[in-house]
Amino acid sequence: MDDLQRLIWQGENDQLDFKQRVTQPDKIARTLVSFANTRGGTILIGVKDDGKVVGVDPEEEKHTLELAANFYCDPPLLLTYEEVELDGHTVLKVSVPESDVKPHFAKVKEDDWRGYVRVKDTSVQTSKMVEKSLQTEEPTFERIPLDRHEHAVLDYLALNRRVTLRQYMKIANLSERRAYRMLVKLVIHGYLRLHDKEKEEYYTLS
C-alpha cells in the first residue's frame, strides 16, 4: 500500500488535514498557521473530509496557497509541495513545517490578525495567554484547575450532547467575548472538542 493511501486511512488529526479544494486564502491561512504554531503538518488537497480522493489541478491550488502563505500569514510561511497520483487523480501534498519563529497570525479581515493552534483535527483560535507561551515554549495541552464558569459548561455537557457559544453565554451569564475565550481555553487544555464544520460551531466533551 502506498504512503498516501496510508496517510488517508489515518484520518484527519493534529498533523493531517484534508481539503477538497482551496478557494479562499484567508480560510486556508488559519490551517497553515495552526500547523506552524504547533508541531507542523500535512494538508492533502484533492481529498474530501471522509477520505474520498477527488483530485485537483495542482497549479491552481498552489497559486491560492502561495497567496495565503505570503499575504495572509504573518510572518509568511514557506511551504513544500508534492504531487501524488492515486486512483487516477492528482492529490497535492502540502507540507507545513513547525516554525522557529512562533507565533504566526492569520489575516481574518482587514487589520484583524489572529493566532491559531492545532488541537486534534481542528484549527483553534488562540488567546493572548497561548500566544505568549508559543513564543517561549511548546503550547502545553495539560489539564488545569477550572473556575465555576468553566465547570458550568462541563456540567451542562455531562447531561447534554453539545453546546454552542450562545447557549454557554446564557448558562454562565457571560459576555460573548469572555464565553468564547473560556471555550477556547477548554479546547486547548483538552476538556472540550470544537466542531466547526457545521453552520453553527458547537462544542462537545473530549
Contacts with 116 (C-beta within 8 Å, 6 or more apart), sequence order: 30, 31, 33, 34, 37, 106, 123, 124, 125, 126
Q: Do domains 3-121 and 148-205 have the same CATH topology?
A: no
Q: Residue with C-alpha cell 492569520?
A: 106
CA distance 56 to 170: 44
Which cell numbers hold the place of 110? Answer: 482587514
Contacts with 147 (C-beta within 8 Å, 6 or more apart), sequence order: none
Q: Give yes or no for residue 80 having a pLDDT over 60.
A: yes
Q: Which CATH number fits domain 3-121: 3.30.950.30, 3.20.20.70, 3.55.40.20, 3.90.1150.10?
A: 3.30.950.30
CA distance 133 to 109: 25
Q: Give yes or no for residue 6 having a pLDDT over 80.
A: yes
Q: What is the pLDDT of residues 94-129, one digit of tens each?
A: 999 999 888 899 998 888 888 898 988 888 887 655
pLDDT band at 131 (very low <50, low <70, confident <90, very high): low
Residue that wins the pLDDT comparison between 178 and 133: 178
Q: What is the pLDDT of residues 135-194, one digit of tens each?
A: 655 545 556 778 899 999 999 999 999 999 999 999 999 988 888 878 877 877 778 888
In the chain, what are the domain boundaries?
3-121, 148-205
Average pLDDT of every residue of the chain: 88
Residue 194: name the closest of 149, 163, 157, 150 by CA. 163
When pLDDT is averaged across residues 54-79 and rounded to a whole number, the result is: 96
So what's the pLDDT on residue 184?
78
Question: In CATH, what is the architecture of 148-205?
Answer: Orthogonal Bundle (1.10)
